[in-house]
């Protein structure tokens, strides 16, 4: 293994938190896996509930929203970014890695490729189904990721109402089951034996989806594989929390924020994640507050360059 790369240009250290974001509570499934696999790492989670769901929005709008949230997390001093949203991963991954990893040394981890890896390993008959939001399915990001395995047959279906169910706290019931049966009918007709839950909200509907698809179909979530990718990125960048090596029993301090109603987010987050969720802060995104973005955490030379670039982007 090669040595670690240079630390982030923002001044973030190995003891800094990991920034995770999603359009709502779905990304908590990824946060849960990260907390379980990396118990010493503090997490800063943002749910962009004011703009949820991302799925029906144009790709360009999802990109702008996602970059705004990630700017906020970088301003707050995170050492790594996790795009815990399939729609955002499809829309912004390349830009995010250029903007934050290439320029600032902050690793960016996403959720699509990890799910693809698990699905390829899980399928027995070579027929894989993918369900996701309209934005994710329309982007064909999964088909592109599966292209390295051309022997596989991939069938996708958009399930736009699933996010609405989860954000309303509905994870079972006749209406959900009827909707699920309608959405997955083409996948069942195609004979898939593996179903990729291509939205981080969907693992919260595992009970209903398992019932509808049947025991012979393997459901694949990206959460655990994403946590593994994050660990590899932290080690590669020399950013693993010092308490990990020291074996400290000290519990990390996690922070949670939402751009919409913090009380509603807190109620759902505690239900889905547990007591780790304390008081939820309400925030606006950086781009809503400052046209050129708040980048005071960055070093002066990087700040000057990025501010000029963002002003130029805003003028276009």
Contact 91, 146 (CB under 8 A): no
Residue 23 labeled ligand binder: yes
Each domain of the chain, given as residue ranges in start order, spans 18-110+224-315, 112-221
List pLDDT tens digits, range 24-55: 999 999 999 999 999 999 999 999 999 999 99
Phi then psi for 192, rounded to 5 degrees? -65, 145
Q: What is the mean pLDDT of residues 115-124?
A: 98
Structure tokens at 13: 């250290």
Q: What is the mean pLDDT of residues 49-73?
A: 94
Q: Which residue has the tokens 């996602």?
A: 66
Query: What's the CATH class of domain 112-221?
Result: alpha beta
Residue 87 labeled ligand binder: yes
Residue 145 labeled ligand binder: no
Q: Please give the CATH architecture assigned to the domain spanning 18-110+224-315.
A: 3-Layer(aba) Sandwich (3.40)
Phi then psi for 67, rounded to 5 degrees? -65, -35
Residue 290 labeled ligand binder: no
Contact 46, 283 (CB under 8 A): yes
Paired sense of beta strands 194-198 and 255-258, if any: unpaired
Active-site annotation, residues: 85, 199
Q: Which residue has the tokens 């007591």?
A: 275
Q: What is the mean pLDDT of residues 127-134?
A: 98
Q: How far is CA 138 from the centre of its chain?
A: 18
Is-same-fold flag (18-110+224-315; 112-221)?
yes
CA 197 – CA 184 distance, rounded (Å): 12
Lowest mean pLDDT among 1-15, 168-182, 230-244: 1-15
Q: How far is CA 100 from the centre of its chain?
A: 16
Residue 45 labeled ligand binder: no
List pLDDT tens digits, range 156-214: 999 999 999 999 999 999 999 999 999 999 999 999 999 999 999 999 999 999 999 99
| Per-residue pLDDT at 292 | 34
Residue 22 labeled ligand binder: yes
């Amino acid at each position: 293994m090669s040595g670690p790369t240079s630390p982030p240009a923002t001044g973030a250290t190995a003891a800094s938190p990991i920034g995770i974001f999603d359009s709502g509570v779905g990304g908590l499934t990824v946060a849960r896996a990260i907390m379980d696999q990396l118990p010493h790492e503090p997490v800063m989670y943002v749910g962009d509930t004011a703009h949820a769901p991302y799925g029906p929005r144009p790709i360009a709008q999802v990109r702008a929203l996602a970059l705004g949230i990630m700017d906020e997390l970088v301003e707050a001093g995170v050492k790594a970014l996790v795009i815990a949203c399939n729609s955002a991963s499809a829309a912004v991954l390349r830009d995010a890695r250029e903007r934050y990893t290439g320029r600032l040394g902050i690793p960016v981890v996403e959720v699509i490729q990890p799910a693809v890896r698990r699905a390829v390993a899980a399928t027995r008959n070579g027929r894989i189904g993918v369900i996701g939001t309209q934005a994710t399915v329309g982007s064909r990001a999964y088909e592109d990721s599966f292209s390295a395995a051309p022997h596989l047959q991939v069938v996708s279906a958009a399930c736009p109402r699933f996010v609405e169910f989860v954000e309303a706290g509905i994870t079972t019931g006749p209406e959900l089951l009827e909707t699920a049966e309608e959405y997955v009918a083409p996948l069942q007709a195609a004979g898939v034996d593996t179903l990729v839950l291509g939205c981080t909200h969907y693992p919260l509907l595992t009970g209903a989806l398992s019932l509808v698809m049947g025991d012979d179909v393997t459901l694949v979530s990206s959460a655990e594989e994403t946590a593994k990718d994050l660990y590899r990125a932290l080690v590669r960048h020399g950013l693993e929390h010092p308490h990990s090596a020291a074996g400290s029993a000290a519990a990390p301090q996690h922070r949670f924020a939402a751009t919409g109603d913090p009380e509603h987010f807190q109620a759902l987050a505690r239900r889905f994640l547990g007591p780790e969720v304390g008081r939820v802060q309400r925030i606006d995104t950086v781009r809503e507050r400052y046209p050129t973005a708040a980048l005071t955490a960055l070093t002066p030379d990087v700040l000057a360059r990025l501010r000029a670039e963002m002003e130029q982007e805003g003028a276009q």
